[in-house]
Amino acid sequence: MSEQAWPDPDGVSRATEAFRAAFDAAPEQVWASPGRVNLVGEHTDYNGGLALPIALPHRTFAAIAPRSDRTVRLVSGLDDGHRWEGTLDDIRPGGVSDWVAYCAGPAWALREDGVELSGFDLALASCVPTGAGLSSSAAVECAVALALTSLAGESTDDDAARARLAALCVRAENEVAGAPTGGMDQATSLRAKAGHALLLDCRDDSVEHVALDLEAAGLALLVVDTRVHHSLADGQYGRRRTTCETAAARLGVTQLGDLDSIDTENGRQTALARLDGEEARRARHVLTEIARVREVVDAARAQDWTRMGTAMDASHESLRVDYEVSCVELDVAVEAARAAGALGARMTGGGFGGSAIALVPLDLTEQVAGAVTAAARERGLREPAFHVAVPSASGERVA
Ligand code: ADP
Ligand code: MG
């Protein structure tokens, strides 16, 4: 039923094989970094709020070897084995596009930050589904950033080094790939811990690891990949960001997340009451979503799974009604999962397609997946794919 993540030895041999086939040599190192799924705290990262993602067992593997010149050669499983070749100087905003921008962008960001790089050969192999809202983009960037940092002889061990790399990967995705990503994905790929969710405070970039052993609780986090992406909605993410910035400016704060420090519910309501229409709804989502992150953290600590499910349901409603980023495929999946016994379900990621998650009793996993598939079929929607999300480790060297 579920699409399996590759065990590390498989990923290593696939990336190594791809490297050999493309460059007729062996790589010097192989690094792997994961995709992520967000438990709760959606569209809060770029608003300076809280998010609670977990790293997936699905990883992108990057096999790399340094070169003595400034040439860069890249292959990725995505592009029919097509090989890109250029120089370090070609890698800059406007200099590369598509998958090459995601693979090579971190080299530009690292150099901008003063890291000395030589040319390199790089081959990628990935089992992170692309465009499913599970952050294949950050998995690529982070695997490459770790590998390049290591080749440059700098440490990637401590959390401060990881936080810096995450910020550089965000810069690469924003400026080289031209995608306005918020920062949660890269933080998860580089700073998460196995068996834990990552409580990320985007105001000061601090993290806390929250123990989350769903299996011991007899539960599974089922990921439903709707396998649709409504491309008509491509400008929507940027538009949501702009509306939030405008609303924050109107209220005299830097980011909407700053309103979270108003310590009474009444005070927050008074602030929100100064906004109208769309701005008011977007801001209400951001503030209530930040509160739901705290609720889910408390529920995880108390092992109160019903409470966690209820907060997940409320998050979906807020994203659907106030933030308006859901779509029929996500709504159908969420409703069918709940009706079949999920404790809670919500869309996850940016929205307009991509994935939903459902918190389900282990013995109902197949049943819930079957019900979601049946509901999609009945509505004439694309058949979804399923994964089980086990909180996994952040990026690391695997060979
Ligand atoms: P998501 O991160 O949710 O999967 P995005 O639209 O943010 O979706 O990123 C998808 C893009 O990331 C792909 O279109 C591709 O350009 C790049 N990408 C993802 N995986 C790989 C890979 N294995 N090799 C090269 N580029 C990749
Ligand atoms: Mg992405």
- The CATH number for 149's domain is 3.30.230.10
For the Cβ of 234 lying below 6 angstroms from any atom of ligand 1, the answer is no
Q: Write out pLDDT tens, residues 92-150.
A: 999 999 999 999 999 999 999 999 999 999 999 999 998 899 999 999 999 999 999 99
Average pLDDT rounded to a whole number, residues 4-14: 96
| Residues spanned by the domain of 329 | 215-389
pLDDT computed for residue 258 by the predictor = 95
pLDDT computed for residue 78 by the predictor = 84
Do 300 and 319 fall within a single domain?
yes
Average pLDDT rounded to a whole number, residues 3-27: 95
Q: Does the structure show a pLDDT above 80 at 1?
A: no
Do 190 and 245 fall within a single domain?
no
Element (H, E) at 244: helix 236-250
Do 183 and 299 fall within a single domain?
no
* Chain CA centroid to CA 315, Å: 17
> Helix 365-378 to helix 328-339 angle, to the nearest 10 degrees?
140
Question: Hey, whose CA ends up nearest to atom 7 of ligand 1?
Answer: 137
Question: Hey, whose CA ends up nearest to atom 26 of ligand 1?
Answer: 99
Closest CA to 211 of 38, 337, 54: 54
Enumerate residues 6+ apart whose C-beta is below 8 A from 237.
180, 350
**Residue 112 within any structural domain of the chain:** yes
**Residue 295 within any structural domain of the chain:** yes
**Residue 247 within any structural domain of the chain:** yes
Do 150 and 23 fall within a single domain?
yes
pLDDT computed for residue 233 by the predictor = 63
The residue count of the chain comes to 399
pLDDT computed for residue 2 by the predictor = 54
Q: Check: CB of residue 337 under 8 Å from CB of residue 358.
A: yes
> Helix 136-151 to helix 184-191 angle, to the nearest 10 degrees?
50
- Strand ranges of the sheet holding 219-229, from the earlier edge strand across to the other edge: 344-348, 353-361, 219-229, 385-388
**Residue 378 within any structural domain of the chain:** yes
Atom of ligand 1 nearest to the CA of 177: 16
Do 174 and 296 fall within a single domain?
no
Do 138 and 224 fall within a single domain?
no
Do 123 and 219 fall within a single domain?
no
Give the catalytic positions in this structure.
185
d(CA 127, CA 79): 15
**Residue 12 within any structural domain of the chain:** yes
Do 278 and 332 fall within a single domain?
yes
Do 190 and 297 fall within a single domain?
no
Q: Does the structure show a pLDDT above 80 at 3?
A: no
Query: How far is ligand 1, taken at its centre, from the CA of residue 103, in Å?
Result: 9
Question: Hey, whose CA ends up nearest to atom 9 of ligand 1?
Answer: 137
**Residue 261 within any structural domain of the chain:** yes
**Residue 1 within any structural domain of the chain:** no
Query: How far is ligand 2, taken at its centre, from the CA of residue 84, in Å?
Result: 21
Query: How far is ligand 2, taken at its centre, from the CA of residue 130, in Å?
Result: 8
Average pLDDT rounded to a whole number, residues 44-49: 96
Closest CA to 34 of 389, 399, 349: 389
Do 117 and 45 fall within a single domain?
yes
Side-chain-side CA neighbours of residue 117 (13 Å): 30
Atom of ligand 1 nearest to the CA of 138: 2
Return the CATH number at 377.
Answer: 3.30.70.890
Pocket test for ligand 1, best of 64, 136, 357 (most atoms within 8 A of CB): 136
Do 231 and 377 fall within a single domain?
yes
Do 205 and 258 fall within a single domain?
no
Question: Hey, whose CA ends up nearest to atom 14 of ligand 1?
Answer: 99
The letter for the amino acid at 164 is: R
**Residue 250 within any structural domain of the chain:** yes
Q: Write out pLDDT tens, residues 142-175.
A: 999 999 999 999 999 999 999 999 999 999 999 9
- Residue 300 pLDDT level (bands cut at 50, 70, 90): very high
For the Cβ of 189 lying below 6 angstroms from any atom of ligand 1, the answer is no
Q: In this structure, what token pair is assigned to residue 392?
A: 């996994």
Ligand nearest to the CA of 62: 1
Specify the number of domains making up the chain: 2
Query: How far is ligand 1, taken at its centre, from the CA of residue 75, in Å?
Result: 14
Average pLDDT rounded to a whole number, residues 379-388: 96
- Provide the mean pLDDT of the chain: 96
